[in-house]
Amino acid sequence: MSTARSERGKSTAGRRTTGKNGAVRLNWRVRLRRDKTLLLMTVPAVVLLLIFNYAPLFGLITAFQYYDPLVGVRDSEWAGLAQFQQLFHDPLFWGALKNTLWLSLVQLVLFFPVPIALALLLNTVLSERLRNFIQSVVYLPHFFSWVLAITIFQQMLGGAGILNHFLRQNDMAPWDITTNPHTFALLVTSQAIWKEAGWGIIVFLAALAAINTDLYEAAAVDGAGRWRRMWHITLPGLRGVIVLMLVLRLGNALTVGFEQFLIQREAVGHESADVLDTFSFYYGIATGNYSFGAAAGLFKSVISLLLIWGANKLAHAFGEDGLYRR
């Protein structure tokens, strides 16, 4: 974030009475005294993160225990890897893992191209007013809660929803969408598209705006039609963003909408709706089997980190930056 900044920092370091540009090399005591206000300002955020993000990391110890909340971490019996053994012998866990991966894959294939296509389409709308209007509309669902989004889906497509009401009135068989376990992957993906695809176009629109228009003009002069221009200029221009977004998605593959599934689990049954996160909740907290749930959570975290790392490797192989540089 900062090469340019630090240069600027140096050039303006003249505000200090010493006038030395080697501000960074000052004795740490001096710097501490000088920056104590700044440090003080970060204290609340740091404290909150230490308590609510770092302390739970130590709670992962429970994954290696038979944790009993009435006894506490210190006095709970050690389990070694027994929880993991049980986990790996649990068909429900494998079911949840399978669902997680399957739902991720479906979302990757069906969801991912939508914002790109939408951005390309929107980019061809000439009227700025119209474009702004469309943008405001498609961004909106992003701000809805999952409770709300799913309620809307239920009202539209559910058993008593508007679609089935229409079908029944016209003597057609009602179409079971919201409670059908077999098409659940499609249902949640369309929910995700409805809610998030619009918001997803922001980054692609920005990347489109950054493409130099001279390139288009030159290509047009050379006789390239709109499709050729899209293929040779637009898409390469988006490549960086697309790869980055892909990396982010892959890294997040094990985190498919927790709330979304939690809310709909009752309707379609745990067999198709349980993903790793809901598994950890229902078989951890809800059965009082905390260690078991923590083990499932830890398993997920480790695999996720590996995925992020792997996705970055992939990005580097494509010659892109990914999340962090090589």
Partner 1 sequence: MRTELNRRSFVTAAVSVAGAAVMTPLLAACGGGGSKHKTGANSAEGVKSALPAFVASTSVAADIPSVTGADGAMTDPAFLTYPASPVATVTGVPGKGGSYTAVTPLWGTVPPAGNSFYTAMNKALGITMEMKPADGNNYATIIPTMTAAKKLPDWIQLPTWWNPNFNVGELAASQFADLTPHLAGDNIKKYPNLAAIPTGAWQAGIWGDKLYGIPSFSTGFSIAGTTFYRRDLLEPKGITADQVKTLDDLMALGKELTDEKAGTWAFDDVWTYLFPFFGVPNKWKLTDGKLVHKYETPELLEALDWHYKLATAGYLHPDAIAGNNADANTRFYAGKTLIQGGGTGVWNLADHQSGTAATPGFRRGSFDFLTAKAGATPSLFMGASTSLMSYLNAKLKPEQIEELLAVANYLAAPYGSAEYTMVNFGVEGTHYTRVDGVPTANDEGKKDVQAQTYPFLATASSVISNPGADQVTKDIAAFQAANVKYLYKPLFWNMNISMPQNIATIDTAQAVEDTIKDCYHGKKKVSDVQAAISTWKSGGGDRLKQWMTDNVLSKYGTGQ
Partner 2 sequence: MSHSPTTVREGAAQPGPTAPAPAPRPARTGRPRARAGRAPWEEPPTLIGQGAKGITLAGVIAAVAVPLWIIGLTSISTPGAVNRAGGLVIWPDGITFDAYQQMLGDGTVRTALMVSFAITVVGTLVSMIVSVMAAYGLSRSESFAHRPILTLLIVTMFVSGGLIPTFLVVTGLGGYDQWWSLILPSAVSVFNILVLRSFYSTTSADLIDAARLDGAGDWRILWSVVLPTSRAVTAVIALFYAVGYWNSFFNVMLYMPTSAEKWPLQYVLLTYVNRGNGLPGSVNSGFGAANSQTAPLTLQMAVVVLTLVPLLMVYPFMQKHFRTGVLTGAIKG
Considering only 130, 286, 306, 317, the residue that binds partner 1 (CB under 8 A) is 286
Q: Which is nearer to partner 2, 26 or 106 (CB)?
A: 26
d(CA 322, CA 325): 7
Residue 302 touching partner 1 (CB under 8 A): no
Residue 318 touching partner 2 (CB under 8 A): no
Q: Which residue shows structure tokens 């950890």?
A: 280
Residue 71 touching partner 1 (CB under 8 A): yes
Cβ 14 to partner 2 shortest distance, Å: 8
Considering only 12, 20, 34, 59, the residue that binds partner 1 (CB under 8 A) is 59
SS3 state at 243: helix
Longest C-alpha distance within the chain, in Å? 87
* Residue 287 binding partner per list partner 1, partner 2, none, with a CB distance cut-off of 5 to 8 Å that depends on partner kind: partner 1
Q: Which residues are bridge partners to 78 per DSSP?
A: 65
Q: Which is nearer to partner 1, 153 or 292 (CB)?
A: 292
Considering only 58, 78, 143, 227, the residue that binds partner 1 (CB under 8 A) is 58
Residue 325 touching partner 1 (CB under 8 A): yes
Residue 74 touching partner 1 (CB under 8 A): yes
- H/E run at residue 135: helix 128-139
Considering only 105, 137, 172, 235, the residue that binds partner 2 (CB under 8 A) is 137
Considering only 123, 179, 190, 252, the residue that binds partner 1 (CB under 8 A) is 179
Q: Please work out, in degrees rounded to the nearest 5, the angle formed at the alpha carbon of residue 158 by the alpha carbons of 153 and 163.
A: 90
Query: In angstroms, what CA-CA distances link 306 with 250, 252, 253, 254?
Result: 10, 11, 11, 11
Q: Which residue shows structure tokens 């058993």?
A: 159
Considering only 9, 14, 69, 236, the residue that binds partner 1 (CB under 8 A) is 69
- H/E run at residue 78: strand 77-78
**50-58, 80-88, 90-98, 181-189 -> range binding partner 2 (CB under 8 A):** 50-58
**10 burial type by CB count under 10 A (0-12 exposed, 13-18 middle, 19+ buried):** middle
Cβ 85 to partner 2 shortest distance, Å: 18
- Range 152-191, binding partner 2 (CB under 8 A): 152, 154-156, 160-162, 165, 169
**78-86, 87-95, 105-113, 304-312 -> range binding partner 2 (CB under 8 A):** 304-312
Residue 248 touching partner 1 (CB under 8 A): no
d(CA 156, CA 167): 12
Beta carbons of 279 and 296 less than 8 angstroms apart = yes
β-pairing, 77-78 vs 65-66, is antiparallel
Residue 170 touching partner 1 (CB under 8 A): no
Tokens representing 33?
A: 């005294």
Residue 68 touching partner 1 (CB under 8 A): yes
Give 268's DSSP letter.
H
Considering only 84, 102, 110, 176, the residue that binds partner 1 (CB under 8 A) is 176
- H/E run at residue 77: strand 77-78
**213 burial type by CB count under 10 A (0-12 exposed, 13-18 middle, 19+ buried):** exposed
CB atoms within 10 A of CB 156: 14
Residue 75 touching partner 1 (CB under 8 A): yes
Contact residues for partner 1, defined by CB under 8 A: 1-3, 50-51, 54-55, 57-59, 61, 66, 68-76, 82, 86, 89-92, 159, 176, 179-181, 266, 269, 271, 281-282, 285-290, 292, 321-325
